[in-house]
Amino acid sequence: MVSESDIAYLAGLFDGEGSIYYKKLKQKRHQRPGKPVHNVWQIRMEIAMTDQHVIEWVHETLQVGTCRERKVKPGCKRQWRWRCGFRDAYYVCRLLWPYVQVKLHKVEQVIDHYEPHEQNLGENVVDLALEREIRKLEHVR
């Protein structure tokens, strides 16, 4: 279980250094002629920076995604990147949602993308408005 202080720190780190890619693309499934083009969602989030230890800590704390060295131009500082996609990104967005500020719109897009599907499967999904109220009450105490 990730502590609240770690989640808040991750949200700030993600606001400053992270990015979210949420887009619908047209993609060919096969290169053969006559094959249809499909609409495919690309959902990905990442944090890239030159501090390897921070990226490894993000990966160890969240327990999702990948942590790799990023290719950079010769003469530039080495960079590392933590990256996750799709349902892992949904999990991370749900964790960061109460604390994220700058990228709140994109985080909510990812959450909204998955929540209607989760509700149709009958799984327990937290209502975001109710969750906000509960967290406000916990901070007042």
Whole-model pTM: value is 0.76
Q: How confident is the model over 96-114, as pLDDT tens digits?
A: 999 999 999 999 999 999 8
Residue 32: pLDDT band (50, 70, 90) is low
Q: How confident is the model over 40-94, as pLDDT tens digits?
A: 889 999 999 999 999 999 999 999 999 999 888 889 999 999 999 999 999 999 9
Cα 124 to Cα 96, 116, 119, 120, 127: the distances in Å are 19, 11, 7, 10, 9
The full set of domains in the chain, from first to last, is 4-140 (3.10.28.10)
Q: How is residue 64 written in tokens?
A: 């999702």
Q: Return the number of other C-beta atoms located less than 10 Å from residue 68's C-beta.
A: 13
